[in-house]
Amino acid sequence: MERKKHDGVYFFWSTSIVICMLVAVFVLGFTSCKKNTDVPAASESPTASEEPSGTAASASPDGTTTPGTVSSSPTSSTEARLGETEDMGQEYVDKFIFLGDSTTYGLGYYDMVSDSQVWTPASGTLTLAYWTAASIAYPDDNSELLIKDAVAKKQPEYMLITLGVNGISFMDEKYFVTEYTNLVLAVQEASPNTKIILNSIYPVSASYPAENGITNEKIDTANTWVERIANSTGVKYLDSESVIKDSNGAMPDNISNDKALHLNADGFKLVINYLRTHGYQ
């Protein structure tokens, strides 16, 4: 009787332990499987509403930023700005390589210059922030080359750079000046004899949505940076925007192909004429 009672208690506890361990194995098995397929990961789409932490609007055009490895020159200096000259003629324009974004791409699109003179990435546009990583569609042999490599290969006599409108929405002054300065230095290093002109950023139309972060006020500010970079790197600045601005500082609709930020043929004619009559000296 006593032995039977003892066996009963033993059986009860043994069965309980086995059941508990079975449950534990079951739970751990599931947990283990989940971890294997779902590695400690968090996946989500960006839905945060935080504002970008830096915008061009907050930067002062008279800042004292030291760009790249070059010291800033006094902001009041205008020695880089090209003054009016006699018409240098089409032969002068034909000596240029035009490097830039979609506002440069249009020069070839509207046959203002030969396609072989227009350097943009295959997409037709270029953001200043990406210039070191971007490859251009090198027209001479249809290869893809980094800008510095293309310049080293071509050794252009003149180069007009038009960049910045795609960057001012998110690049603050320091970032903008550093990147642009480094680009100029890279071109100078790759082709020391190339005469470089930094072109002003063209205005956008008055109806261009400010929500995109691009306004004529920002463009005006950025153009002071571009001129300052020209001064500090010893190259020239072309104030071509002065001939394509209306009284409100915007791109007139009659010279825009999209009532946004791109010139049409009439607009480019004004720019080319300004280039010819403000020759490199």
Is 56 in contact with 222 (CB distance < 8 Å)?
Answer: yes
Inter-helix orientation angle 173-190/147-154, to 10° = 30
Does 141 bind another protein (CB under 8 A)? Our answer is no
Contacting residue, 6, 16, 25, 94, with another protein by CB under 8 A = 25
Residues 101-140 that bind another protein (CB under 8 A): 102, 121-123, 125-127, 129-130, 132-135, 137
Q: Which stretch binds another protein (CB under 8 A): 78-86, 177-185, 191-199, 245-253?
A: 177-185
Find the shortest distance in angstroms from Cβ 131 to another protein: 9
Nearer to another protein, 90 or 123 (CB): 123
Does 9 bind another protein (CB under 8 A)? Our answer is no
Which H helix or E strand runs over 183?
A: helix 173-190
Does 32 bind another protein (CB under 8 A)? Our answer is yes
Does 64 bind another protein (CB under 8 A)? Our answer is no
| Strands 143-146, 158-162: pairing kind | unpaired
Contacting residue, 41, 91, 142, 193, with another protein by CB under 8 A = 41
- Report the SS3 class of residue 186: helix
Q: Characterize 229-261 residue by residue with b for buried, 16 or more Cβ atoms within 10 angstroms of its Cβ, and e for exposed.
A: bbbbbebbbbbbbeebbeeeebbbeebbbeeeb
Nearer to another protein, 33 or 90 (CB): 33
Nearer to another protein, 110 or 170 (CB): 170
- Name which of 56, 63, 83, 93 is nearest 239 in CA terms: 83
Does 69 bind another protein (CB under 8 A)? Our answer is no
As beta bridge partners, residue 165 has none
- Report the SS3 class of residue 137: strand
The DSSP annotation for 109-121 comes to HTTSS-GGGEE--
Q: Which residues bind another protein (CB under 8 A)?
A: 10-11, 14-15, 17-18, 21-22, 24-25, 28-29, 31-32, 35-36, 39-46, 48-54, 102, 121-123, 125-127, 129-130, 132-135, 137, 144, 166, 169-172, 174-175, 178-179, 182, 212-214, 258, 260-262
